Each structure stands twice: as C-alpha cells, then as structure tokens.
Structure 1
C-alpha cells in the first residue's frame, strides 16, 4: 500500500510527515491529489480516491508519498489544497479535481508555481495553463463525435440540450454546436441546471415543448440521472444521450428504469473484456477493474477511477526519465517531468493511449472511447458504425 494520507483540506498543516519537506527532496516523490470525496461530485471523487489504492508504491526505485485531500467540488477549496501541496508538502506532482471548475482552479495554481498537474476532469485550456497541465479524461470533441455520428445514423434532425450551468456544461454545449451543426443537427432548445439542484422539471417542460428528436445531457456523476429520469417521467420518448461524465454504475442505480436505452460515450475502462488483445487499453483496464471490484464489489468499476489510476500509469513512464536528470523535490525534477510528458509516446493506460504535445494537453485519439447503452440494467457496448 502506498503511503497515503487522507484528510480534509483544513487539516493539512496537521498531517504527519509534512513538517519535514526536505526529506522529500532526495528520498521520496510527493504527489498531492485534491478531489471531491464529499459534496455533489462525490460519486466522481470517491472512485478517483479509491483507485489510488491500486497504484505503485514506488517508481524508478523511489518511494511515492501520496496525499489525498477533499475539496467538496469547490474551486476555492481546490485552490487552497493545491497551494498547500506546493508550499507545505513541496509536491512534485499535483492531481485533481473531480469536476471541471475546481480542475481549472488547480491548473491555475500549478501553472503559476511551475508544478506538473494532471487534471482529472475535462477542462478548457488557455495558453496560461497549458505548459504545466495535462488532462487525463477524454476531450469533449472526441467523445462528442461518436454521439453526433450516432444521431445522424438514426436520422436525428433536431436536438435539445440540458447541461450544467458551469464550464462543463459550456464545453458540451459549444461542442454540440461546433460538431453537430455541420452534420445537420439543429439545436432547438437549451436549458441549464446547477449541480446541487434537486429538480429540473421546469427545464424539462421547456425541452418537451420544443419536441426535439433527441436530447443531449451535459452532466456528470449521479446528477446526470436527474434530467434522465425527469424526461422519461414526463413522457419523453426520443433518444437521450449522455456524456462520459455519466459513465458509472451509480448512474444506472439512480436512474433505474429511466436509464434503459440511453446512448452514452465512455472510456474503454468500462468494458475492457470486449476489447481485442491487441488493444493497448485492455491490459491496464482489466488490471484496474479486477483490483477495484475485488475490494469494492462486482460492477463497482468506474470511469472516474480510471482517471487517477491512469495518471500513475503515465508517471510510471515519465518519472524514470525525469530521475535521470534531477532529484525529487527540486524545480529541475519538476521541469524534467514536464519535458518527459511530451517526449514519451504511446503511453498505454485504461482510458486511452497518451501522446501529449506542447499544444495537445489531452494526448488522446479515438482509441480512448467506446459507445454504451443500458439494457436490462447493465451497460452494453454498441458498435460505432
């Protein structure tokens, strides 16, 4: 088991082992992870935290010290955690968070301080935040493309959209317009809701009045089940599409019968058993799911567990390269990790094969996605063509 420290953000100063950061400069690599283990995004953050139990205890012969803090999905908390990782724990690497707004906040801190950062939720990149940050989840355009292609194949002409009233909702809404428009998909209604909302009845009634052929839900975690259930309860009969932010067993549990027939883009970690042996994502996907389900029960696998697990798969490739140039705990080591993220290619992980560049901070291609539906309460892989 890794040397893990789980704590609330406010207790970081009291964490054992943080009072002597100089030890980390030669004897260990410090990795700080901020994610949402409480709050509305806990269904995403808890699997991300749990997956850390199955990652290496050392890389390149150097022990890892992993600190996991809860930010409750709040960008302010995530910012505080990131700054404490840097100033008090002298972190060599930062990861997080579980949702887009706090991930952007962590990226800002990491790029200001010059510390490698692995985002665990899709986020928009700007020149100010692309030098030190990479993102583990699949980029929206890759995941959206397979959904819009399915819509076109099924003669969908008009589409309604309901998504979060934050940056994740914006990313999907903008992608629907950018990729769906050229395919002939007409956007006829747009509605938004906040992550903590417990009702979307008003938004759903407006969508129903527009009578779209299909509806795309731009949400994540268990909250993605709210519009799904409300649409079906109110009698909507058209196709409903969900993003990879909803790809978890909890979605089916919460949505119940309303989940039947949903069309969802997902990372391959949700169904590695069906991949050919030549798929580079199959072995790490099976390794993660086997370990995860052995501890947390059958069908507990999660796309979100794959994000944090895969960050360590990447580190297994880049840290040995960085150690040839500098020692942990130094700016030179952090710079060496940054450079190795770009120089190392075809890094196989459970959710995709990573090839980061200076401008492509996701580093993924079509190998990072599958198409799912729900049948009889279980996920079933759909062919893309």
Structure 2
C-alpha cells in the first residue's frame, strides 16, 4: 500500500516542481527597474514629484510585469552609489533610473556602467567624454536650455549677465554651457560669478557683489524650492534688472516661496507644464496634456510639476524600447540589458511631454534645440514668452 501511494504521489510532486519552476521563470521575467531619488535632503523638491508620478506607472509593458524598486538617496552621492550597487548586485535590475540630483546621478554612473546596465538619469548629468556609454538623460541638457534662454536674452537686449549658482555639478555645467552657447550665438557676456551650496540658507554676500556689478540680467542656477532664496536675496538688495532661472526651477515652489519677489522672472522650461498654451500642432501638445490630466487627477488641480513630467516621459520611452529589446533577450540577462541600450540608441524621433527626443549612439542627451520654452511668472502663474 505504501509503495502504491508513493508511486501515485511521485507524479504529483514532479508536476508541482514543474509548476514551481515555471512560476520562478515567470518571476525572473519581470522587467526590474531600480530608481534612486532624493526623497529627502536639499533636492527632495525634485524627487518627491517624480516618485508621485512613478506611483501612476502602468503595471506592465509589452506583456511583461514592471518590478519597480524606489530608494531614497537623500541628495547624497554616497547613498546614491550604495543604491546603485544594490540595484546591480542584489536586485539584478534591468534598468537603473536616477538620480534627480545631478551630483548623485554623476556618482552613480560608474557603478551602473561597470555593470553594463542602462541608466536613465533624471538630471542633466554631465560625464567625462566617453564615460556615458550606458547613461541616457531624460531631462533636457543644459546646453539645449541655455540656447533658448540666450535667444530670449538677445531679444530682451541683455548684454551682460551675473551668475549666481550652485557649487556642484549642476551649477558648474550650467555656467560652462551658458558661456559656450552664448559665444556660439553672439549672446551676452557673464561679467560676475558667485556660487553657493545647496544647503546654504543665505547668499547675502554673493548677492551684494553681484548687484554692485550691475549686469543687465542675473542667471540663478538652483532647483526646486531652493531656487527662490537666491532670487529673493537679489531683489532685497534692490536689483532692478531681469532675472532668469533654469529648468530645475520650473516648479510652483518658486512662486509659492518667492511670492511677489519672483514676479516677472523668466524661467526656461520644457513644454510639459503648460500644455494649454501650446499650439495645436506642437509635437508635445497631446502628451503634455495627458501628463497634466493624469497627474492632477490624483494630486489636485494646479499641481503639475516639471520633474513629475520626466517620470511620465520615462514610460513613453520604455513603451517604445522594451518591445524591441524583448526580441533580443529575456529580462534578467546581459543580452536584454545590452538590447535596451541598442533599442534606445535606435528609437528615432520620439515626442514626449517635455519636447522631442532623438537618442543616437553619438548623442545620449536626445533633446534638440527646439525643445526649450521661456516662461514668465505673471500673477503667480506661468505665461509662455513668444
């Protein structure tokens, strides 16, 4: 009887083992994405809106489940590196995203590149020549946005500029790109340069020096809610010229914290935050409208956010590249990771909420000079400059 029972149950055990193996295989086939964001620290105003939109992501793409792991890097490059190491060694991710803080994204890059895994940076991170073979940027590059800003300055008659920006990679790359683009375009000259740390609570000394230089315009390079403080310092020191902010400041936090001191400010931006003001034939009109509708349905009217828009665009990119990459390999394999890079480099002209992307092997920045818009703060709201 025991022998007969064993003979009967053996096929059941085999069937159970086969089903378990199939289930494990299905789990391994999930597309795993590791995301490092500054959910705390000075750049949390960038990371939190991105995390908010990531919660709205679809559960699967091309029939494959998305397994999304979000970690806080606290705006700290060391924590970002630790997150990247965990993603590529423990979680065996297919894609890394982040950080929204440029210094953190830069620090993560060597770890992700060594693992031969694509990194979609949520910041315009600048790497040494030849070091960005596995990094693609989802935000617009500083050079592209500087192009739009400089053309606007020229129309405004601006000849001289004072620079007040972060001491870190974001600030320094903006300074270099602005100077390079201005030289190419015959734009204004920077006549005074002052810097400050993201964690600084006052820039009084820097503001006094810049105001005394009396440039036609000031370029403030800061991000999120932190962009209001340096501008307020300039206004409080009786600066009367034009003030420009970068695309990292294209958030309502600038107006919420800056109040009347930021009225009239010019902010370069992608089109995602003002779909109502885009022409009907603008390539980003439909996508920007879709982004705003989805985001504000959950988070409230008027809460659209530049940084959340990049998280929306990430899905637009994934929906285009993952079906292609899946033809070359299964999730969790080196073949699949390599195919993701190849598919991204070959995806062609792709409208997103923030403009038009066209990555190539030689260009991992994607956006073209048609992308940038200049917004003006009018009555605590955005108005597109023509």
Give the TM-score normalised by the residue count of structure 2. Answer: 0.91
Q: What stretches of structure 2 of length at least 5 have no aligned partner?
A: 1-22
Which residue of the partner structure matches residue 111 of structure 1?
113
Match status 1:209 vs 2:212? yes
- Tell me how far 1:98 sits from its aligned partner: 1.0
The answer as to whether partners of 1:354 and 1:364 remain within 8 angstroms in 2 is: yes
Whether contact under 8 Å (1:130, 1:358) holds in the other structure is no
3-state SS of paired residue (1:237): coil
Contact 1:25/1:330 (8 A) holds in 2: no
Stretch of structure 1 that moved more, 80-89 or 279-288: 279-288
Change (3 A) 1:106 1:25: farther
Report what 2:7 is aligned to. Answer: none
Task: Identify the residue that residue 154 of structure 2 maps to in structure 1.
Answer: 152
How far off its partner does 1:367 sit? 3.8
User: Which of residues 85, 94, 97 is equivalent to 1:95?
Assistant: 97
Contact 1:354 1:363 in 2 (8 A): yes
Within the candidate set 155, 164, 172, 2:174 is matched to 172
8 Å CA contact 1:122–1:137 kept in 2: the answer is yes
CA distance in 2, matches of 1:380, 1:28: 43
Deviations 1:187-235 (A, max 9, x none): 2110000001000000000001111111101111111111111111111
Q: Which residue of 1 aligns with 2:29?
A: 27
* 2:201 paired residue among 198, 202, 214: 198
Secondary structure of 1:240's counterpart equals strand
Q: Does 1:236 align with 2:259?
A: no
Q: Is the 8 A contact 1:25 1:329 kept in 2?
A: no
Match runs of 1:286-305 below 5 Å: 286-305=289-308
Please state how far the C-alpha of 1:24 moved relative to its aligned partner: 6.9
Deviation of 1:181 after TM superposition, in Å, equals 3.6
2:148·2:369 contact (CA, 8 Å) conserved in 1? no
1:137 aligned onto 2:139: yes
Q: Which moved more, 1:361-370 or 1:327-336?
A: 361-370
Q: Aligned-pair distance for 1:23?
A: 5.2
Answer yes or no: is 1:274 the counterpart of 2:277: yes
**Out of 58, 61, 64, which is 1:62 matched to?**
64
C-alpha distance after superposition, 1:60-91 (max 9, x if no partner):
10100101110011111001001101111110
Q: What is the match of residue 263 of structure 1?
A: 266
Shift in alpha-carbon separation, 1:77–1:23, aligned structure 2, 3 A: farther
C-alpha separation between the residues in 2 aligned to 1:319 and 1:68? 20
Residues in 2 aligned to 1:223 and 1:112: alpha-carbon distance in whole angstroms: 33
Q: Give the alignment's Cα RMSD to 1 decimal.
A: 1.5
Task: Say yes or no: does 1:361 pair with 2:364.
Answer: yes
Alpha-carbon shift at residue 126 of structure 1 (Å): 2.7
The separation in 1 between residues aligned to 2:136 and 2:24, in whole angstroms, is 27
Structure whose CA Rg is larger: 2
Determine helix, strand or coil for the equivalent of 2:201: coil
Note if contact 2:325-2:343 (Cα within 8 Å) is conserved in structure 1.
yes
| Structure 1 unaligned blocks of 5 or more | 1-20
User: Within the alignment, does 1:40 sit opposite 2:53 as a pair?
Assistant: no
* 1:25 Cα deviation after fit: 6.5
Q: How far does residue 176 in structure 1 lie from its aligned partner after superposition?
A: 2.2
CA distance change for structure 1 residues 23 and 277 in 2, over 3 Å: closer, same or farther?
farther
User: By how many angstroms is 1:293 displaced?
Assistant: 1.1
Query: 2: distance between equivalents of 1:276 and 1:258?
Result: 30
| 1:284-308, Cα deviation, whole Å (9 max, x unpaired) | 2111111111221121111101112
Change (3 A) 1:192 1:305: same
Q: How many residues are treated as equivalent by the alignment?
A: 363
Map of 1:18 onto structure 2: none
Deviates more, 1:124-133 or 1:310-319: 124-133
CA distance in 1, matches of 2:194, 2:139: 25
- Alignment-derived partner of residue 6 in structure 2: none
- Worse overlay, 339-348 or 277-286: 277-286
